[in-house]
Amino acid sequence: MTNEFKHTSVLLNETIDNLKPKDGGLYVDATFGGGGHAQYLLSKLKTGTLIGFDQDEYAINSARLNFADLLQENSEPQLKLVHDNFSHLKKNLVQLGYQNGIDGIYYDLGVSSPQFDQAGRGFSYRYDARLDMRMDQSQSLDAYQLVNETPQGELTAILYKFGDEKYSRQIARKIVQSRQKKPIETTFELVEVIKEAIPAFARRTGGHPAKKTFQALRVAVNHELDVLKESLEEAIALLKPNGRISVITFQSDEDKIVKSIFKKYSEVEVPRGMPMIPESMKPTLRLVNRKPIVASEEELKNNNRSHSAKLRVAEKL
């Protein structure tokens, strides 16, 4: 199997093994990417189907090449690919003829290594490219538009909320000043603006000075937190009884959303004195792990991306 979309999957065994995959089951990979998790899941099945979602056309095209044998109608297990955002789970599953629920779903959130490494995608401050950052290249909003058209106050809020950027006000002010002279067109141009905005002493510590700003812009361009909330709600509703959901996050905001939604469906407040819990008040989910699963020492040594990864798993009751 060739692999043009090179990406080392984080928490591979933990994510899939906790789904307890079973033959004949219907599973969803909400963030197909390079297909590492998918390949491992499919190796666990003799029969069954995996639906792989990805809004990145490059990832889907690579998957069509790399998994060609499993995309055949008569293959077992079978893989089907969907070029769409994972916030449209139900719509696509119904169109494919799967309206009776799923046995498991997993998410590997954030940006994949190939998206960072493809200079022309404009995700990384390490390569000079036009500001882009779109995971779905068919959408109109990109980082260029966001940087050059967003009002200063709104830009400040984006940098602070999505990047936890301490110098969000200074960076937003400097961006507005710079773009009044000429548009900020490339990643390196933006990096220079950010460096000018941040005090010299602060640039000497804490990693690359543009890291948080680039993260914030990427999250805003792709509406990552909003679509995550929508998708998790749909996924929980789609799960069959005893079906499981695994979610890997890399940012605190993502993890807060997953933790909050899992808590919403796994805990109920029972009024004092109530002798029994009515069916309508019973929880929908059971947490498989109370605390997030993190990478082992061995994985931390071999995969730098795993350092901030957290995995949460829940089961439908």
What's the domain range around 297?
12-113+224-316
Same domain, 86 and 23: yes
Same domain, 212 and 236: no
Using CA atoms, how far apart are residues 91 and 53, in angstroms rounded to an integer? Answer: 12
Using CA atoms, how far apart are residues 18 and 253, in angstroms rounded to an integer? Answer: 23
What is the model's pLDDT at position 281? 74
What is the model's pLDDT at position 304? 87
pLDDT-derived band of residue 176, with 50, 70 and 90 as boundaries?
A: very high
Would 153 be classed as within a structural domain? Answer: yes
What is the model's pLDDT at position 274? 64
Same domain, 163 and 311: no
What is the model's pLDDT at position 1? 38
Would 24 be classed as within a structural domain? Answer: yes
CATH number of the structural domain spanning residue 147 = 1.10.150.170
Using the 3D structure, point to which of 221, 241, 258 is the last residue of a domain: 221
Q: pLDDT tens across 8-36, in order? A: 899 999 999 999 999 999 999 999 999 99
Using the 3D structure, point to which of 192, 221, 250 is the last residue of a domain: 221
Q: How far is CA 115 from CA 218, 289, 306, 316, in A?
A: 12, 30, 17, 33
Report the pLDDT averaged over residues 257-278: 82
Same domain, 87 and 236: yes
Same domain, 232 and 96: yes
Mean pLDDT of the chain: 93
Total domains in the chain come to 2
pLDDT at 269 over 90: no
Report the pLDDT averaged over residues 248-270: 93
CATH number of the structural domain spanning residue 298 = 3.40.50.150
Would 132 be classed as within a structural domain? Answer: no
**Lowest-confidence pick of 64-78, 113-127, 220-234, 258-272:** 113-127
Same domain, 60 and 101: yes
pTM to 2 decimal places: 0.92
Same domain, 108 and 231: yes
Would 1 be classed as within a structural domain? Answer: no
Same domain, 172 and 91: no
Same domain, 68 and 17: yes
Using CA atoms, how far apart are residues 22 and 35, in angstroms rounded to an integer? Answer: 19
State the first-to-last Cα distance of the chain, in angstroms, to the nearest integer: 38
Using the 3D structure, point to which of 186, 221, 256 is the last residue of a domain: 221
Would 296 be classed as within a structural domain? Answer: yes
